[in-house]
Structure 1
Amino acid sequence: MLVAVLIALALAYTYPIRVYLNQQSDIAEMQSAQAAQREKIKELQDQAALWKDPNYIKTQARSRFFMVLPGEELLILLSDPDGAARDAGLPPPGATPPEPDPWYDTLWSSVEAANAESAR
């Protein structure tokens, strides 16, 4: 009789224990998500603090929008190796040359060409 009561108690406590463990894992997951959000907020606050500096704003305007101060001349260097090779009629650098046709395709095309000439 005592064994039956112990089994019944064990079965009765399994569901609440499972719910408790699920809640604990949910709490841990929410805490980690909250920590990630705090880190993101800190990064954004640091970035916003940078934008309060006039020198940082000038640097960003020069690099992003190619702005210059009065009296300065802007020089933009363009590097397009693919376009330069295309203009020169060469394959782009790093490109592999096309594979030649297999020997049997070349042989068969010559047989077809000879057959086409004899049919004329």
Structure 2
Amino acid sequence: MLLPDETPAQQLRGVSVEVLDNSVCRYYYGDLVTDLMMCTSGEGGTGPCRGDSGSPVQIQMEDGRWVQLGILAFGAAYGCEAGYPSGNILLPPYISWIEGVTDLDFGPDY
């Protein structure tokens, strides 16, 4: 992550975000948002900053485990504090392919 002055952050950061209907992201980003994506809120300055693309999007399961649900694809060009939503690639549609390529089994969570 890059800080507003373009220097790299020295500490890993994370935020809790709300999952929004994809129509919200389509309003801002049009056809860039597909059904294989998930839209998340950037309200309150919690949007992704420059350099955050590729970051994990995780959900905490009822048993307390964290499972990666997606990968941050993009945020608004206006910056992370502008309050715009962000687009994330959903992992579940790609898990079978990833398991085949890596010869790994990610288990029943996917």
Task: State the TM-score bracket (shorter-chain normalisation).
Answer: under 0.3
Where relative contact order (Cα < 8 A, 6+ residues apart) is larger, the structure is 2
- Which protein has the larger Cα radius of gyration, Structure 1 or Structure 2? 1
Structure 1 or 2: more helix by fraction: 1
TM-score by length of 1: 0.21
TM-score (norm 2): 0.23
